[in-house]
Amino acid sequence: KPGEQKHSKEPSSLQCMHLAVVACGDRLEETLIMLKSAVLFSNRRLCFHIFAEDSLKPEFEKKLKEWPSSYTKKFQYNIYPITFSVGNAQEWKKLFKPCAAQRLFLPVILKDVDSLLYVDTDVLFLRPIDDIWHILKEFNSTQLAAMAPEHEIPKIGWYSRFARHPYYGTTGVNSGVMLMNLTRIRNTQFKNSMVPSGLTWEEMLYPLYQKYKNYITWGDQDLLNIIFYFNPECLYVFPCQWNYRPDHCMYGSNCKGAEEEGVSILHGNRGVYHDDKQPTFKALYEVIRDFPFEDNLFQSLYYPLQSKFLDTVHTLCGRIPQVFLKQIEKTMKKVYENRVIVYLGANHRY
């Protein structure tokens, strides 16, 4: 009836944008800052899937409860133990960085989740997750995951110069930001180099690791590259501004998408949030970390960022501050426009 509220019959998990992260060792703070950036800018409700060592679980729960209710109502979360459904758990746990291989098992563990965005702990969102979530609708009928290239220029890319195993495309792909249709992954038979017939995702993981373990350097990311080398039709490649790393500016700017549109997702790999090698990345991390939740975004986030960037102009990344600021500025303007419209709309009732 007119004036009645319409209730969706979808379960709340379907209305969510699902975000997964794996945190072990000293990654608690980094993970919380990543989640904070997701909540600060996103519009739709979020469902966080946090995979963590048992010792970190109480800390996550304590810290997330300290966030103000105006933000905690925007998400729900589950914390899961680190588990591997096939093969030797200790081998998987030690593959590359602690627990990183857990991401390979997300389709197996999260059986009730249709689609998911996985990110590394050292990722920061500079615009709403809603915008990358829309890319799921751009998948064609065979695509079931999306990643960005590992590098833009083959002659200085790692895979194109050093890899001793098959990898996707000309420069490989980076798995720090990975959008996945888990339903399709679970239902697909994957071509592989081990048996003539296809294998399911779960069937394939351990034999693939056993076959290539002496040739891989970057652990689970290498395994994903091998999978998509044999199944290129299954991968959607999104542009570099969705997984912007120090490599995109430390040798000179080589991510055209970020130059045009600004950085959408910042990936501070190489530990750059915690040392002084890339002060532009560190500045962004510290400003989001220190932002008081309910303060004015322009005053307490944007202006401090501009002033910190002035100290980074001696670096190649610091010479292109507009690349880092463009999406944040755009997102904040939208937030304020929405608030003004809501405020005016409320006033027009009287």
Residue 75 lies in a domain: yes
One domain for residues 227 and 245: no
One domain for residues 333 and 191: no
One domain for residues 228 and 333: no
One domain for residues 119 and 203: yes
Q: Which residues of 28-38 are buried (b: 16+ CB within 10 A; e: fewer)?
A: bbbbbbbbbbb
Check which CATH number belongs to the domain holding 224 and give it: 3.90.550.10
One domain for residues 173 and 290: no
Of 212, 238, 264, the residue at which a domain comes to its end is 238
Residue 2 lies in a domain: no
**CA proximity to 78, closest of 21, 131, 161, 141:** 21
One domain for residues 247 and 222: no
The predicted structure's pLDDT at residue 176: 95
One domain for residues 204 and 303: no
Residue 315 lies in a domain: yes
Distance between CA atoms of residues 260 and 257, nearest Å: 5
Of 211, 238, 265, the residue at which a domain comes to its end is 238
Residue 103 lies in a domain: yes
One domain for residues 198 and 299: no
Cα dist. 222→166, 168, 205, 300 in Å? 9, 10, 12, 40
Q: Are 315 and 279 in contact (CB under 8 A)?
A: yes
The predicted structure's pLDDT at residue 10: 42
One domain for residues 64 and 168: yes
Residue 12 lies in a domain: no
Instruction: Write out pLDDT tens, residues 140-168.
Output: 999 999 999 988 887 777 777 767 788 78
One domain for residues 191 and 296: no
The predicted structure's pLDDT at residue 226: 92
The predicted structure's pLDDT at residue 6: 36
Give, for 178, the enclosing helix (H) or strand (E). Answer: strand 173-181
One domain for residues 260 and 203: no
Of 177, 212, 238, the residue at which a domain comes to its end is 238
Distance between CA atoms of residues 161 and 182, nearest Å: 32
- 46: number of Cβ within 10 Å: 21
- Mind giving me the DSSP string for 69-138? HHHHTTEEEEEE----SSS-HHHHHHSSSTTGGGGGGHHHH-TT-SEEEEE-TTEEESS-HHHHHGGGGG
Residue 144 lies in a domain: yes
The owner of tokens 């979808």 is: 10
Q: 101: domain range?
A: 17-238
Query: In total, how many domains does the chain have?
Result: 2
Residues of the chain with pLDDT under 70: 1-14, 87-90, 93-98, 162, 218, 339-350
The owner of tokens 């100290």 is: 311
The predicted structure's pLDDT at residue 238: 95
Instruction: Write out pLDDT tens, residues 309-350.
Output: 999 999 999 999 999 999 999 988 887 777 666 555 555 544
One domain for residues 107 and 125: yes
